[in-house]
Amino acid sequence: MDGHVVAVSISATHSFSKPNVDCIRLLAGLGVEGDAHAGETVKHRSRVRRDPTAPNLRQVHLIHSELHDELQQVGFVVLPGEIGENVTTRGINLLALPTGTVLRLGDEAVVEVTGLRNPCHQLDDFQPGLMAAVLDRDEAGNLVRKAGVMAVVIAGGEVRVGDTIRVELPSEPYRPLEPV
């Protein structure tokens, strides 16, 4: 279940979209060097208001490019980085990974998946109707959030377009992803 990096993106401000770059550097325990969301404690503005001392479980945002394909089929045009992700992937079903999955990005960087991105109203500000398009229901009627996963950096290093992503599942029993 390996994949690869399609794009890497970064923004030093709390802007919604993140411009694509050739390379990002992940810093252990912090996140993406130079990104507004990097740090040991929460950096997302809504979470800072709740508890600025809470640990940052959202250091790196990953989205599968297959979501972009799915959105295009229903009339949306979303390019890598445009909905805030740092790493756009292909070939890995990110949403099916259990909590604690380790992703080895390229030769050095290692992240641990902490949970799901909880989509917010900013998606509709970007393109009307987009929030509903990244939400679904499973067979049992449970809400399915499709806007990617969040991770913390275990080992730093550079991540580039084309890098291989190797998946290491945690020990069973698996814990399903929950919003973080």
Q: 26 in a domain, yes or no? A: yes
pLDDT for 48 equals: 84
Q: 78 in a domain, yes or no? A: yes
- Mean residue pLDDT of the chain comes to 96
Task: Look up the pTM and report it.
Answer: 0.96
Q: 178 in a domain, yes or no? A: no
- Percentage of residues in the chain having pLDDT higher than 90: 92
Residue the block writes with tokens 């279940």: 1
Coil, strand, or helix at residue 15?
Answer: coil
Query: Range of 40's domain?
Result: 3-168
Q: 177 in a domain, yes or no? A: no
Q: 176 in a domain, yes or no? A: no
Q: How many CA atoms lie within 13 A of 170 on its CB side?
A: 17
pLDDT tens, position by position, 8-51: 999 999 999 999 999 999 999 999 999 999 999 999 878 888 99
* Alpha carbon distance 44, 75 (integer Å): 29
pLDDT for 10 equals: 98
Question: Domains in the chain: how many in total?
Answer: 1
pLDDT tens, position by position, 71-97: 999 999 999 999 999 999 999 999 999
Those residues with Cβ within 8 angstroms of residue 139's Cβ, 6 or more apart along the chain or in another chain = none
Q: 38 in a domain, yes or no? A: yes
Those residues with Cβ within 8 angstroms of residue 103's Cβ, 6 or more apart along the chain or in another chain = 62, 92, 110, 111, 112, 113, 151, 165, 166, 167, 168
Q: Residues 88, 100, 18, CA angle at the centre, nearest 5°? A: 25
Residue type, 13: T
Q: 173 in a domain, yes or no? A: no
Give the model's confidence band at 65: pLDDT under 50 very low, under 70 low, under 90 confident, else very high.
very high
pLDDT for 49 equals: 87
CATH classification at residue 25: 2.40.33.20
pLDDT for 45 equals: 78
pLDDT for 120 equals: 87
The whole-number average pLDDT for the span 168-172 is: 97
Distance spanning both ends of the chain, measured CA to CA? 24
